[in-house]
Amino acid sequence: MLIVLDIGNTNTVIGVYQGDRLLSDWRIRTEKEVTIDELGMLLRNLFQSQGLTLENGTDLIISCVVPPMVNTLEGFALRYLKVRPLWVGPGIKTGMPIHYDNPREVGADRIVNAVAAYDQVKGAVIVVDFGTATTFDVISQQGEYLGGAIAPGVMISCEALFIKASKLPRVEIFAKPKSIIAKDTISSMNAGIIYGYVGLVDGIVGRMKQALGDPHPKVIATGGLACLIASETQSIDLVDDYLTLKGLKIIYERNRPRREERDKGGS
């Protein structure tokens, strides 16, 4: 069994694989100050809810963009699984050349998504991830990570409106507004946020296609609000809610021979 963990600034995504089969998955809120035992009990309860067992020796791969949680995650793996996790980061084999001025600056989640998207498309692809930040990542026809763009996330923009504009309420984005010409404040904010991000996505993707020199790369969206925004865009071809989990599994498989050799050597 393999556990895959993607630790984001807002949400943590967890998947459990048996071979190529995804047995179960969860999306929970990231708690930066969680303790080792709190994390252990949380995962144990999630597993039990699906008839699964958190067993010693279960393999674990983690991508994490929250540095304060690294020691907690390492401690959880050692105490509750009796293994050291495989971390997505410098030195790991991804099978994807990274053409970035400083490859260490690229978020682990962005590389994971890029690996999964290229494995799926086998050609030029742009990944749009609607997370805490909205990220755009470009992969070439040859499977090279070329770089991308980062914009404020949808919920960051909502929170900024609430904080900076005294008379505007805090809103949650669950569904698209009935009309772009809204008749009340909350609907007006929803319309501005949703259709504003639709324009942002179509505009950035269009410019990326021009820079790539390929007018027809596949465009894949993922992340919590992907379905809502993607349905209104002209540029997104498909939504894959499991893109990050797939990427983590692919990277684990590419590093498994190295891990098995290391474990046999006792180091």
Q: What is the DSSP string of 207-248?
A: HHHHHHT-S--EEEEEETTHHHHHTT-SS--EE-TTHHHHHH
Q: How many CA atoms lie within 13 A of 232 on its CB side?
A: 20
- Cα separations (Å) of 234 from 129, 166, 213? 16, 34, 19
- Residue 211 burial by CB count (10 A; 0-12/13-18/19+): exposed, middle or buried? exposed
Q: What is the CA radius of gyration of the chain?
A: 20
Report DSSP state, residue 143: S
- CA–CA separation, 33 and 30 (whole Å): 9
Is 119 a known active-site residue? Answer: no
Residue 44 CB neighbours (<10 A):
14
Give the contacts of 200 (CB within 8 A, at least 6 positions apart).
134, 151
Task: Catalytic residue, from 37, 59, 101, 109: name it.
Answer: 109
Known catalytic residues are 109
